[in-house]
Amino acid sequence: MAGVVSLVFGGQGAQRVGMGSDFVEAFPVSREVFKRASEVLKLDMQEICFTEDARLDLTEFTQPAILTAEIAILEALKEQYQLAPKYFGGHSLGEYAALVAAEVLSFEDALVIVRKRGQLMQSAVPAGTGEMAAIISENPFGDSFSAELVEHYDVEIANYNSPSQIVVSGKKEKIEKTLLELQKKFQDLRVVPLSVSAPFHCSLMQRIEKEFKEFLRAYEAKLNLERGQSVVSNATGVFHTPESLLDNLISQISRPVRWVENMGVLLKHSSEILEISPSRVLQPFFSTLGAQISSVFNIRSIKKSFLER
């Protein structure tokens, strides 16, 4: 797939037991990625990702686990198919995999950063007091619906995933009340509570931004900020700039993921887009914009993405 010019990476929620295991079995370069991750984090990443390990759903471990699986897949594809991407994007946590792929920061540094990010995000809100839920419609929402959610129901939009799917985030009682009212008022809406350990991408996360900023600034001198211009920002919807990259990553924790805008920017610049993720999560979002992208999440999916093209 020499024509691929954009890579996109899935985020938290894409994790699954066994993610990356077939690549580790088939490709030494993928096995080396898991080895490096285990050494950096002093954790057995194969045990966390490949077995029924409860840590896989704990944010502190989920984030480096997904990053490890995605980079293991990426390295195998680079070795086998000589990928030469020009642009990168990632959904929430996936933005860090995009930064690694774009050579903005090293894989090792990214592992440490996302583990700290996960620890802080988990600590921001007491367990069981926050919630996130996807709101899905058969038709595009429009700006008026988003505005009504924020103003009338007093909830925050965490993700603009597609024209017909948004995610709300906040305190559990507010989210549950909102979902009940929406289902009564709009018969064509489908609401799906998300299995997450904290309400991400909302103002409840602002209390950890200062500590994350101090932690992230320690890596500033090691970043290739110029390379960041090839990566779209969840926080702004457009490409990072060298001046804004760190601030964008800090504010990304509490601001909504502007994925619809990210997709639009990448489609404008790309003839082909490839998703790398433990599960096929981003492909359906692109399809709502009339765009067909390829997705690699296990070895079997390589055939459709590369060999049959």
Helix (H, G, I), strand (E, B) or coil at 59: helix
For residue 92, indicate whether it is catalytic. yes
**β-strand 156-162 against 165-171: which pairing, if any?**
antiparallel
* Candidate list 162, 201, 251, 254, residue with the active-site label: 201
For residue 201, indicate whether it is catalytic. yes
* Candidate list 92, 197, 230, 294, residue with the active-site label: 92
Of 56, 6, 76, which is closest to residue 301 (Cα–Cα)?
Answer: 76
List, by residue number, the catalytic residues: 92, 201
